[in-house]
Amino acid sequence: ASSCDQELQSALEEAKQPQKDNVFIPECAQGGLYKPVQCHPSTGYCWCVLVDTGRPIPGTSTRYEQPKCDNGARAHPIKTKDLYKGRQLQGCPGAKKNEFLTSVLDALSTDMVHAVSDTSQSSSHVSEPDPNHTLEERVVHWYFKQLDKNSSGDIGKKEIKPFKRFLRKKSKPKKCVKKFVEYCDVNNDKSLSVQELMGCLGVTKEEGKAETKKRHSKNLFSLSFSLNSFKLMKSG
């Protein structure tokens, strides 16, 4: 299904045409979702919709008053990656955003390789990886644990500061750094969950190994090698 943002753009274009002033124009929320209440001003009708598809919920239509709608009504559980599909990173369009995400993941991969290879560090810093995780997922989970000092399951305002410093130091293009944390914080609660960090860095299970290799195979190969070496050292 197309996101609300796409439908909105199409509707606005159509409304510019002659005799098309009655076109329904959807109201959108963040991340390409629909607002739970939609209205058609020229008819006075409002109704509830599924926020992920915009499909009207039967029996909810009212005229000249707002219906009571469920803010979380969805056709299916939303995937983290879909939250970022229609989300714009200010000052960082398409190709630049891809370059930026690759540079962030490369830098994180390198840091994890060094941490895993450093025998002076306590082995407790490197937990056993989930066998279902791709290498990129392991990198993000590892970094999230470094930031989540109080093990609350969220990176709070103070804990985000090292992430901001890391972005400024190791990522390019620089314009993409400025609003990146706000871009990640999809529910605007001033903290980041591991799902938000995965989603905004573009790390998803659907990405697959071929895409992972294409994006930054060199560091991931090094990471894989280092992790295997580390495991052998531990078992030895």
CA–CA dist 50, 34 (Å, integer)? 7
Query: What domains appear along the chain, each with residue ranges and CATH number?
Result: 4-63 (4.10.800.10), 80-120+132-205 (1.10.238.10)
Q: How many Cβ atoms sit within 10 Å of the Cβ of residue 162?
A: 14
Q: What is the average pLDDT across 191-205?
A: 82
Please say if the pLDDT value at position 123 is more than 50: no
CB atoms within 10 A of CB 25: 16
Tokens describing residue 17: 């045409």
Mean pLDDT computed over every residue of the chain: 79
Structure token pair of residue 188:
């605007």
pTM, 2 dp:
0.56
Separation of alpha carbons 227 and 230, rounded Å? 5
The confidence score (pLDDT) of residue 129 equals: 58
* Mean per-residue pLDDT, 156-165: 89
Distance separating alpha carbons of residues 39 and 47, to the nearest angstrom: 6
> Tokens at residue 141, please?
């989970």
CA distances (Å), 236 to each of 31, 107, 113, 229, 233, in order?
48, 30, 20, 10, 5
Nearest CA to 170 out of 105, 224, 92, 89 is that of: 105
Higher confidence at residue 35 or residue 151? Answer: 35
pLDDT of residue 90: 85
pLDDT tens-place string over residues 36-95: 999 998 889 999 999 988 999 988 999 988 899 988 788 766 566 666 776 788 888 888
